A and B are shown apart, each in its own frame.
Chain A
Amino acid sequence: MSKTVTPLWEVFIRSRNGMAHKHVGSLHAADSTLALQAARDVYTRRGEGLSVWVVPSSAITASDPGDKGMMFEPAESKIYRHPTFYDVPDEVGHM
């Protein structure tokens, strides 16, 4: 296999106005201009997007899977933090 030197990019797409950009996947591209075009070509072929972001994967700082007990388990026992004790009116829409 040839050695790859093409940087990796993370792709985020906003599907509708008012929605947040969501992570949809990643791709390889030499620079941000080509990354944006590749994101358009790979991830918006079926009308998925109104807006695309690309971010160098190297710019992302990720949590360590080994820390997941410390990071996330303390929240599991605190059900009173969930907004499930009252009804959200339909008119509020997407939250």
Chain B
Amino acid sequence: MAATTNIRVTETPLVLYALRRADDALVLGHRLSEWCGRGPALEEDMALANIGLDLLGQARSLYAYAAEVEAAGHDEDGYAYLREAPQYRNLLLAELPNGDFARTILRQFLYAAFADPYWRAMMRSTDPTLAAVAAKSEKETAYHLRHTAEWVIRLGDGTGESHRRIAQALDDLWPYTGEMFEADAAEHALVESGAALDPAAFRAEWERTVADVLSQATLAVPPSGWMQKGGRTGRHSEHLGHLLAEMQSVARAHPGATW
């Protein structure tokens, strides 16, 4: 039986960029897959699975590109299954547990309100592969944003219980939103070349979208205080290790298995 040692990734700025976005999509998509068969209604069970599959597709495209750029013989499965938590580069927001339906919907909304305009703008990237990934992702995230925004409004402006639950989720998730707008030197190098865009440039639009939807949902925008970060450099919450242990269990128990 082959050993399941972790791969070592040479993280040039472009590889790192692709992995960060791919890890966001994979980890968030995996969280949504945890709802499969447990949704509050069949309709929403399928809606969450659909969004999860969209994200999985985005992750695959970006991992495939990382593999091509890194040119070290790694592939999509290697990046997904043979890296441990400190090697993952996703936002902390993506790995937070699902909690109840309100928390899952709000987490997706907060992410989509950033990802949708971000990917739409990335269609103008000077990197043709990233521009193509962006063009595909943008249509998907536009729907994610619309769907989750409708639910945020209905949960916030719904019953006493739904309002209480989503208000609690907003308080809990808010400190994880700032990390979306962070960029380090490696990413700024790509911004310089036009391959990537500075996420900070999308903050004002994100704030407008969020404020508009929260106001319709009769929820108050939390004060912008201290923000959590660390996911982009591999310093994760305790939740990611458990997620990966489950997600990677088959690949690590049966290395190289096909079916």
Contact = CB atoms under 8 A, between A and B. Distances in A.
Given A28-B41, A42-B42, A37 B47 contact: yes
B74 interface: no
Interface stretch (B118-126, B146-154, B169-177): B146-154
Contact of A34 (B42, B50, B150): B150
Contact of A42 (B46, B150, B154): B46
Interface string B127-158: 00000000000000001001100110010000
A30 B151 CA distance: 11
A70 B259 CA distance: 57
B154 A37 contact: no
Interface in B193-234: none
A55 interface: no
Q: Is the interface of B mostly helix, strand, loop or mixed?
A: helix
A31 B41 CA distance: 15
A38 B43 contact: yes
Contact of A45 (B44, B46, B151, B154): B46
Contact of B150 (A27, A28, A37, A40): A37
Interface residues of A, number: 13
B6 to A, nearest CB: 35
Interface residues of B, number: 13
Contacts of A28: 41-43
A37 B50 CA distance: 12
A28 B47 CA distance: 13
Nearest to B47: A41
Nearest to B43: A38
Nearest to B158: A30
A34 B154 contact: yes
A89 to B, nearest CB: 40
Contact of A41 (B50, B151, B154): B50
Nearest to A43: B46
A58 interface: no
A41 B150 contact: no
A6 B154 CA distance: 13
Nearest to B49: A41
Given A41-B50, A45-B50, A33 B150 contact: yes
A34 B44 CA distance: 10
Nearest to B51: A41
Contacts of B41: 6, 28
A42 B147 CA distance: 14
Sorted nearest first, the 10 A-B pairs with minimum C-beta distance are A38-B43, A41-B47, A41-B46, A42-B46, A27-B43, A41-B50, A37-B147, A42-B43, A33-B150, A28-B41
Interface of B: 41-44, 46-47, 50, 143, 146-147, 150-151, 154
Interface of A: 6, 27-30, 33-34, 37-38, 40-42, 45
Given A27-B43, A33-B150, A41-B43, 16 more contacts: A27-B42, A29-B43, A30-B154, A34-B154, A37-B147, A37-B150, A38-B43, A38-B44, A38-B47, A40-B143, A41-B46, A41-B47, A41-B147, A42-B42, A42-B43, A42-B46
